[in-house]
């Protein structure tokens, strides 16, 4: 199935690929600083140029839906080749192409794109209550903890725990209170004062960063709490000297060297502060595609689709206005409950059929999340074996 993309030069292709292979492709492309679409195009073109018998069969059992974009006409030509190669299935053909591309793009240490930037994840959706705070907190915890290697069919490598800063960018201060931390009182140094006043002493904001439960996270998880005056941010940004969209980036810049990853828990609106939040997630010069960007929690219901369309258009506007790329890292379908029937299952399949951004996790509506909030503990500490905690680790894995 294909559909034409605006601009006409590439077409969307819906196929399937084993999850581990897709992950390997994504990692290798990122390591080499190559755009995924370019990597897949090269893979298909190289596959077409090779003799049929030079492609070993790949195990494609458990292949998952996968969307990509190819130059117009390439998919048709590829399908013709598959038909002419003893009816190789398209899924098998793709898997062979991707496998061979990865194998022919070995990464030497010298070639590795050293991540010069702290990765920035902006968890956003102007729709209220969809799970921004939950997903920001859970993903941040999983990043700080790291992941063990997986065994079985999908052998995935262990991922180290990284120094992670959660930023409570929402004046409601839910993330701050859920982690049992006090909001910053008015008049003190805060993200707001540093965003609106460029003459603040840079180090002063670092002093407000609070370390979370050092025993469990071994000192790798920290929080920049919300402040009481954050409600005034939008109106105060209106009178900021110099560019407003860079205000969050400017305020957080002195903190970046202390963290590997910064996760922003965004507020439920699309005001000036949110533009600065989206801008903060933009791809910086020479940064690998997909290293930073926006992660969007959504619900499996019709109103969520309308809200996402609005957010997507805002992301496009910020990208165009400031001439930056903002990578959409994925959707997290949160509070999923198939007992809600057709609306939930239909809506889930609609999210999945988008393909770009991919659904990186489906988080069920379960009690552990609310309980963790109630006892003011990080979810991955309160209920580390819960399905919700597993999903947070899945998101971390998909963002690797
Ligand atoms: N998967 C889940 N299962 C059960 N409860 C959940 C789940 N995800 C979130 N919740 C609960 O739903 C409520 C809203 O979630 P959350 O605060 O994360 O949403 P939000 O998008 O950050 O909201 P806001 O727009 O107000 O910032 C919270 O009480 C949270 O504990
Ligand atoms: Mg929230």
Q: Compute the distance between CA of residue 123 and CA of residue 332 in angstroms, rounded to an integer.
A: 10
Cα 128 to ligand 1 centroid, rounded to whole Å? 9
Among the listed residues 117, 115, 120, the one whose alpha carbon sits nearest the alpha carbon of residue 281: 120
Exposure letters 81-90 (e unless 16+ CB within 10 A, then b): bbeebeebeb
Give the pLDDT confidence score for residue 150 in this predicted structure. Answer: 83
Output the ligand 1 site: residues, CB below 6 A.
Answer: 128-134, 170, 172, 174, 268, 334-335, 363, 365-366, 369-370, 373, 388
Tokens 């991922």 appear where? 159
Cα 2 to ligand 1 centroid, rounded to whole Å? 36
Find residue 175's DSSP bridge partners: none
Q: Compute the distance between CA of residue 376 and CA of residue 191 in angstroms, rounded to an integer.
A: 23
Cα 368 to ligand 1 centroid, rounded to whole Å? 12
- Helix, strand, coil % over all residues of the chain, rounded to 5: 45, 15, 40
Ligand number nearest to the C-alpha of 376: 1
Kindly give the confidence (pLDDT) of every residue in the chain, 400 residues in length, as a single tens digit, with 9 standing for 90 and above.
333 333 347 788 999 999 889 888 888 887 777 777 889 999 999 999 999 888 899 999 889 988 888 999 999 999 999 999 888 999 999 999 999 999 988 776 555 555 579 999 999 999 999 999 999 999 999 999 999 888 877 778 888 899 999 999 999 999 999 999 999 998 899 999 999 887 787 778 999 999 997 778 999 999 999 998 888 888 888 887 778 889 999 999 999 999 999 999 999 999 899 999 999 999 998 888 899 999 999 999 988 999 999 999 999 999 999 889 999 999 999 999 989 889 899 999 999 998 889 999 999 999 999 999 999 999 999 999 999 999 999 999 998 7
Give the pLDDT confidence score for residue 179 in this predicted structure. Answer: 95
Ligand number nearest to the C-alpha of 365: 1
Ligand number nearest to the C-alpha of 371: 1
Locate the ligand 1 atom nearest the alpha carbon of residue 174 and give its number. Answer: 17
Looking at ligand 1, which residue's alpha carbon is closest to its atom 31?
A: 370
Give the pLDDT confidence score for residue 346 in this predicted structure. Answer: 92
Find residue 296's DSSP bridge partners: 331
Q: Which residues contact 289 (CB under 8 A, 6 or more apart)?
A: 29, 30, 33, 35, 36, 283, 325, 327
Q: Compute the distance between CA of residue 146 and CA of residue 35 in angstroms, rounded to an integer.
A: 26
Cα 148 to ligand 1 centroid, rounded to whole Å? 27
Maximum C-alpha span of the chain: 73
Ligand number nearest to the C-alpha of 139: 1
Q: What is the best residue among 134, 277, 379 to mutate for testing ligand 1's pocket, by most ligand atoms within 8 Å of CB?
A: 134
Give the pLDDT confidence score for residue 115 in this predicted structure. Answer: 55
pTM of the model: 0.75
Q: Compute the distance between CA of residue 223 and CA of residue 140 in angstroms, rounded to an integer.
A: 10
Q: Compute the distance between CA of residue 334 and CA of residue 325 in angstroms, rounded to an integer.
A: 26
Q: What is the best residue among 131, 167, 304 to mutate for testing ligand 1's pocket, by most ligand atoms within 8 Å of CB?
A: 131
Q: Compute the distance between CA of residue 110 and CA of residue 118 in angstroms, rounded to an integer.
A: 20
Tokens 């494609």 appear where? 60
Locate the ligand 1 atom nearest the alpha carbon of residue 265 and give its number. Answer: 22
Looking at ligand 1, which residue's alpha carbon is closest to its atom 3?
A: 365
Give how far the C-alpha of residue 269 lies from the chain's centroid of Cα atoms, to the nearest Å. 19
Strands (E), the chain: 2-4, 10-17, 64-71, 119-123, 164-168, 210-211, 221-224, 261-265, 293-299, 328-336, 359-364
Q: How many helices (H) and strands (E) does the chain have?
A: 17, 11
Give the pLDDT confidence score for residue 389 in this predicted structure. Answer: 96
Give how far the C-alpha of residue 116 lies from the chain's centroid of Cα atoms, to the nearest Å. 18
Give the pLDDT confidence score for residue 251 in this predicted structure. Answer: 94
Cα 399 to ligand 1 centroid, rounded to whole Å? 21
Cα 369 to ligand 1 centroid, rounded to whole Å? 8
Give the pLDDT confidence score for residue 373 in this predicted structure. Answer: 94
CA angle 18-22-24, nearest 5°? 115
Secondary structure letter of residue 239 according to DSSP = T
Ligand number nearest to the C-alpha of 370: 1
Cα 135 to ligand 1 centroid, rounded to whole Å? 8
Q: Compute the distance between CA of residue 170 and CA of residue 248 in angstroms, rounded to an integer.
A: 13
Give the pLDDT confidence score for residue 229 in this predicted structure. Answer: 83
Looking at ligand 1, which residue's alpha carbon is closest to its atom 30?
A: 370
Secondary structure of residue 39 in the 3-state scheme:
helix
To 10 degrees, what angle do helices 90-103 and 36-49 make?
Answer: 100
């Amino acid at each position: 199935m294909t559909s034409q993309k605006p601009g006409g030069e590439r077409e969307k292709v819906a196929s399937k690929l084993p999850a581990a292979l897709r992950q390997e492709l994504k990692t290798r492309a990122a390591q080499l600083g190559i755009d995924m679409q370019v990597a897949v195009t090269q893979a298909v073109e190289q596959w077409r140029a090779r003799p049929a018998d030079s492609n070993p069969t790949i195990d494609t059992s458990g292949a998952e839906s996968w969307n990509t974009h190819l130059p117009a006409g390439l998919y048709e030509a590829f399908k013709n080749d598959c038909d002419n190669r003893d009816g190789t299935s398209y899924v098998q053909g793709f898997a062979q192409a991707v496998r061979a591309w990865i194998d022919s793009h070995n990464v030497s240490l010298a070639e590795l794109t050293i991540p010069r930037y702290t990765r920035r994840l902006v968890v956003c959706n102007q729709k209220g209550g969809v799970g921004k705070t939950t997903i920001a907190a859970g993903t941040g915890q999983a990043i700080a903890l790291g992941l063990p290697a997986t065994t079985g069919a999908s052998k995935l490598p262990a991922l180290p725990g990284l120094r992670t800063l959660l930023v409570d960018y929402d004046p409601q201060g839910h993330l701050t209170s859920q982690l049992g931390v006090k909001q910053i009182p008015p008049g003190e140094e805060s993200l707001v004062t540093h965003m609106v006043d460029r003459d603040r002493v840079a180090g002063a904001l670092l002093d407000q960063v609070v370390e979370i439960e050092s025993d469990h996270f071994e000192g790798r998880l920290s929080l920049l709490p919300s402040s009481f005056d954050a409600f005034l941010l939008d109106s105060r940004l209106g009178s900021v000297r110099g560019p407003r969209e860079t205000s969050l980036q400017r305020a957080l810049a002195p903190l970046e060297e202390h963290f590997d990853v910064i996760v922003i828990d965004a507020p439920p609106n699309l005001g000036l502060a949110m533009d600065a939040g989206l801008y903060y997630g933009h791809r910086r010069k020479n940064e690998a595609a997909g290293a930073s960007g926006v992660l969007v929690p959504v619900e499996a219901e019709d109103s969520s689709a309308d809200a996402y369309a609005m957010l997507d258009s805002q992301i496009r506007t910020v990208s165009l206005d400031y001439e930056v790329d903002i990578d959409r890292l994925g959707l997290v379908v949160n509070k999923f409950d198939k007992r809600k029937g057709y609306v939930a299952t239909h809506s889930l399949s609609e999210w999945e059929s988008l393909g770009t951004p991919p659904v990186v996790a489906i988080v069920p509506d379960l009690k552990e999340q609310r309980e963790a909030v109630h006892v003011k503990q990080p979810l991955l500490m309160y209920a580390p074996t819960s399905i919700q905690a597993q999903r947070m680790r899945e998101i971390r894995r998909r963002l690797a």
